Amino acid sequence: MKTTLGLLFGGKSAEHEVSIQSARSIFAAINKEKYEVVLIGIDKTGNWFLINKEFMLQDGKVENASLETKPENIIALIPSNNSNQIINVDTKEVIGKLDVVFSIIHGSFGEDGSLQGFFNVLNIPFVGCDVLASAVGMDKDIAKKLLIEANIPVAGYVCCEEFEYDFENYKDDINPLGYPVFVKPANAGSSVGVKKATNENELKSAIEYAFKFDSKVIVEEFIKGREIECSVLGNDDLIVSAPGEIITNYDFYSYEAKYIDAEGADFKIPAELPQDVIQKIQRLAKQTFKTLCGKGMARVDMFLTEEGEIFINEINTLPGFTNISMYPKLLELSNIRYTELIDKLIELGIEYHKSKQEKEKNF
C-alpha cells in the first residue's frame, strides 16, 4: 500500500515563488510507486487548496510562479482519531487523508515553526526540523546568541528592535562594527530584505528597508571570506556533507543572484579546500545543527577567511530543494541521490514522529 504524502508549498512569505520551484522538483523526482502524492498549495493570502498535477509539470520562471485559488476549492486539515483528514471548507465533505507531510514552504509561516506546531497538533509526521529548531533557526538574533553560548564563532552584530528604534542612538552602538556592514531582517530567508551599507546614510536606509520585513533587524559585521555551505542529514546519527562554495557575481549573494539571474553565482561542489579545513567545517556544521536542536535536515552557511578562521553565518532548516540546489547537490557527494534523499527525509520524519509518540504514552 502506498504512503499518502502531502506535498505542501507556496505560502504567505516573500519566498512563495521559490517554494513552488522546490515543490516541482520534488514532485518530479519522488518515487510515485511508493508514495501517493497529494499536492496542497497555499496562496499568498493563506488559503489552502488542492493542486492538479498539470500545474506541477509547468516549467515557469521563479519570478512568474504564483498560486491562486477560488473560494469553492479551499480545503482544511483537521485532526481525527485514526487519520488526518482533508475537508472541503465549502461543502464540509471529507475528501482525503494524509500519512505524512513534506512542507517545502520557505520563510515565514512555513520555516519558522508555525506549520511544524500545526502538524504536531494534527499528530501527523512531517519532514524536517521540529518547532524549536525551526523557530530558532529562523531568528538570526536568537540563533547567534545560542551559538555564542556554545563557543561557536559568529560575526559580530547589533540587534535593532522596531519599537525602540532611534537611528541616532543605534549608530553609536553600530560604530564598533565598522563599514561595510550587512543589514538583515532577523526573520527572513533567501536574502530577502538584506542590504549592504558602506556609510551612515546607507545604513539608515538599509535598516528602514529591513523593518519592512520584520520588527527586528540585525546589523552584522562584514566578514571578508569565502562563502561555504554544508548539508546535514539525520535525526541523531548525522551525515555531514563535504562543503561547497558559492562564488557570487554580485556584491553579495542576493535574492536576484540566487533565483532570478541564471549567471548570478557559480558553485564549486565540492569546495577546493585542504582536508583539515574540510574536517573543521564539518565539525562546526554538525555542532551548529545539534546546538540549535536540528532534526532531519538543514544547510549550515559559513564564511572562511584567508587566515583560516570560520564564522557561522546562519542555519537554514528548510533549504532550497530543487534538484540543482546546494543542499541536495552536496549530499550527492555522499552518494545520496535526489530521489533517495527525498525518501530518506520522509523516513526520518516518520521515525522522529514515532519516537515522540512513545514519549507521549508516559503523559
pLDDT of residue 79: 85
Could you give the number of structural domains in the chain? 3
Q: Are 188 and 267 in a shared domain?
A: no
pLDDT of residue 353: 95
Q: Are 173 and 117 in a shared domain?
A: no
- Beta carbons of 10 and 67 less than 8 angstroms apart: yes
Is residue 161 one of the residues assigned to a domain? yes
Is residue 150 one of the residues assigned to a domain? no
Check pLDDT > 90 for residue 134: yes
- Alpha-carbon distance values, 286 to 113, 122, 270 (Å): 21, 30, 18
Is residue 74 one of the residues assigned to a domain? yes
Is residue 144 one of the residues assigned to a domain? no
**Which residue has better confidence, 254 or 228?**
228
pLDDT of residue 261: 41
pLDDT of residue 259: 46
- Beta carbons of 239 and 336 less than 8 angstroms apart: yes
Q: Are 167 and 273 in a shared domain?
A: no
Is residue 133 one of the residues assigned to a domain? no
**Which residue has better confidence, 140 or 81?**
140
Q: Are 17 and 100 in a shared domain?
A: yes
Looking at residue 53, which CATH number applies to its domain? 3.40.50.20
pLDDT in tens, 89-107: 988 899 889 999 999 998 8
Residue indicated by cell numbers 558602506:
198
Backbone phi, psi, residue 179, to 5°: -125, 150
Check pLDDT > 60 for residue 197: yes
d(CA 282, CA 287): 8
State the pTM of this model. Answer: 0.90
User: Among 29-33, 81-85, 339-343, where is mean pLDDT lowest?
Assistant: 81-85
Domain that includes residue 172, residue range: 156-221
Looking at residue 253, which CATH number applies to its domain? 3.30.470.20
Is residue 141 one of the residues assigned to a domain? no
pLDDT of residue 84: 74
Q: Are 167 and 274 in a shared domain?
A: no
d(CA 341, CA 206): 38
Q: Are 234 and 310 in a shared domain?
A: yes
Backbone phi, psi, residue 246, to 5°: -105, 125
Q: Amino acid identity of 160? A: C
Is residue 322 one of the residues assigned to a domain? yes
Check pLDDT > 90 for residue 80: no
Check pLDDT > 60 for residue 64: no
Q: Among the three residues 201, 221, 241, which one is the final residue of a domain in this structure?
A: 221
User: Among 176-185, 287-296, 340-349, where is mean pLDDT lowest?
Assistant: 176-185
Q: Are 183 and 280 in a shared domain?
A: no
pLDDT interval class at 190 (50, 70, 90) = low
Q: Amino acid identity of 165? A: Y
pLDDT interval class at 254 (50, 70, 90) = very low
Q: Are 118 and 26 in a shared domain?
A: yes
- Please state the three-class secondary structure of the chain as a single string: CCEEEEEEEECCCCCHHHHHHHHHHHHHHCCCCCEEEEEEEECCCCCEEECCHHHHCCCCCHHHCCCCCCHHHEEEEECCCCCEEEEECCCCCEEEEECEEEECCCCCCCCCCHHHHHHHHHCCCECCCCHHHHHHHHEHHHHHHHHHHCCCCECCEEEEEHHHCCHHHHHHHHHHHCCCEEEEECECCCCCCCEEECCHHHHHHHHHHHCCCCCEEEEEECCCCEEEEEEEEECCCCEECCCEEEEECCCCCCHHHHHHCCCCEEEECCCCCCHHHHHHHHHHHHHHHHHCCCCEEEEEEEEECCCCCEEEEEEECCCCCCCCCHHHHHHHCCCCCHHHHHHHHHHHHHHHHHHHHHHHCCC
Q: Are 253 and 199 in a shared domain?
A: no
Check pLDDT > 70 for residue 260: no
Q: Are 9 and 118 in a shared domain?
A: yes
Q: Are 210 and 272 in a shared domain?
A: no
Residue indicated by cell numbers 496562496:
43
Q: Among the three residues 221, 256, 274, which one is the final residue of a domain in this structure?
A: 221
pLDDT of residue 71: 65
Given its phi and psi angles, is residue 33 left (phi above 0), alpha (psi -120 to 50 degrees) or beta? alpha
Residue 89 grid coordinates: 471548507
Q: Among the three residues 126, 144, 178, which one is the final residue of a domain in this structure?
A: 126
pLDDT of residue 257: 44
- Beta carbons of 15 and 2 less than 8 angstroms apart: no
pLDDT of residue 125: 96
Looking at residue 215, which CATH number applies to its domain? 3.30.1490.20
pLDDT in tens, 23-53: 999 999 999 999 999 999 999 889 999 988 8
Q: Are 188 and 229 in a shared domain?
A: no
Q: How many CB atoms are closer than 10 A to CB 32?
A: 12
Is residue 148 one of the residues assigned to a domain? no
